[in-house]
Amino acid sequence: MKWDTLEEEPCSLARTVAVIGDRWSLLILRECFLRIRRFDDFQTSLGITRHLLADRLKKFVRFGVLRKIPYQEAPKRYEYILTQKGLDLYPIIMSIVHWGNVHMVDSRGRPLLHEHKNCHKMFDPVMICSECGEPLTAKAVHVHPGPGARRSSPTSNGVSAKNAG
């Protein structure tokens, strides 16, 4: 796999990594979910260079993760709003946050707590089966080739190493 052609791979993970697979992209998404919308606010919050920030924001707009909306005419300035495609990345971001809360916190504890607006309780994200509602773990899942998989030599689980994902 070549880094600049990941979006063309027959692998959902590779295609997703093409969009969000670097630290700045993930941190920009974190800021979006924390309601940051303006270029200068992203830059101040993250300490990212203007060039890198502009590059990542353009990529998110190109992939339909963010929508660019003008909020000022002279000079022209934009807000970056999560689209539905961007909002659908929330479970990924929350899974990464949860892993960090479990494995990377220091003695002070979690830096942010998440409250469910409906029940007003602090929560941890949980991944469940969409069919039966049972919690999912890596050991409880079998992977099978789908209609978009490449035909090549299968591994022990039925999916080739090249197109697992």
Q: Do the domain assignments include residue 159?
A: no
Q: Do the domain assignments include residue 65?
A: yes
| 102-132: pLDDT as tens digits | 999 999 999 999 999 999 999 999 999 999 9
| 55-110: pLDDT as tens digits | 999 999 999 999 999 999 999 999 999 999 999 999 999 999 999 999 999 999 99
Q: Do the domain assignments include residue 141?
A: no
Domain encompassing residue 59: 1-88
Q: Does residue 163 contact residue 150 with C-beta atoms inside 8 Å? A: yes
Question: H-helix or E-strand containing 70?
Answer: strand 66-72
pLDDT of residue 8: 72
Question: H-helix or E-strand containing 153?
Answer: none
Number of folded domains that form the chain: 1
Q: Do the domain assignments include residue 96?
A: no
**CATH code for position 3:** 1.10.10.10
Q: Model-level pTM greater than 0.85?
A: no
Burial class, 26, CB count within 10 angstroms (exposed 0-12 / middle 13-18 / buried 19+): middle
Q: Do the domain assignments include residue 38?
A: yes
